[in-house]
Structure 1
Amino acid sequence: MSKVNIILVCSAGMSTSLLVTKMQKAAEARGLDAHIEAIASSVAVDTLKDTPADVLLLGPQVRFLEADYKKRFNEIEVAMISPQDYGMMNGEKVLDQALSLIG
């Protein structure tokens, strides 16, 4: 698999930074070339115009954006992060979710 680009969207971009770190560690442990980034929902639309993404994962606090993002970014896989995995900051499971969406 070539490099994967995973974007996580949350309300401020801060709460997901720990999850991103855990996902990066999980990716490194698997020898996976991954760029994983957290961005705030307030800048997501502008950021995604210029940033290639294979998958867009939404934090539970921005679940209301899911339908809009699926329409707006129809060339990118868009999904919700499970509230349990988000709450536990389970980087392994969220990485698995992202990779399963990419195929």
Structure 2
Amino acid sequence: MKRIYLFCSAGMSTSLVASRMQDVADKHNLPLEIKAFPDRNIDTIYEQYHPDVILLGPQVKFKFNAVHEKYDPMGVPVDVINLEDYGNADGERILKRAIQLLKSKKEK
């Protein structure tokens, strides 16, 4: 099972996005665990669960460089969720992007 974890300032709005992404993954029988957390817990969550992809909510995109520099060398792709997709809670489009990141990870 691959883990796709979303992080935002409080984890609230991102929980809706994660839930929609999980619904799409379940509908297609994809072995994925998709959850949302507050961004202040990234290090703890990484140590505990070792996510395969980290997605940041648009409201914390200013943290991208620091998070990317820390986790990308460990083989964990990091990206910021597209603002429009996030605003629409478009679980399918966001999930497709996360799967692209998983595939690019395998190619490295």
Offset from partner CA, 1:43-88 (integer Å, 9 cap, x none): 1122211212111000000001100001111220000100000000
Q: Does 1:20 align with 2:18?
A: yes
1:15 to partner: Cα distance: 1.0
SS of the aligned residue for 2:19 comes to: helix
Maintained 8 Å contact 2:6/2:57 = yes
Superposed CA deviations along residues 19-51 of structure 1, whole A, max 9, x for unmatched, are 111101100111101101101011112221121
Partner of 1:93 in structure 2?
A: 93
Q: Counterpart amino acid of 2:20?
A: K
1:9 aligns with: 7
The one of 31, 34, 54 equivalent to 1:33 is: 31
Instruction: Give 5+ residue unaligned stretches, structure 1.
Output: none
Query: Which residue identity is paired with 1:37?
Result: K
Q: Which runs of 4+ in 1 moved over 6 A?
A: none
* Cα distance in 2 for residues equivalent to 1:37 and 1:91: 12
- Tell me, in whole angstroms, the C-alpha distance in 2 between the residues paired with 1:80 and 1:96: 13
For residues 18 and 6 of structure 1, what CA distance do their matches in structure 2 show? Answer: 14
Identity %: 36
Three-state SS of the structure 2 residue aligned to 1:7 is strand
User: TM-score, normalised to structure 2's length?
Assistant: 0.90
Amino acid at match of 2:45: T
Q: Which has the higher helix share?
A: 2
How many residues align? The count is: 101
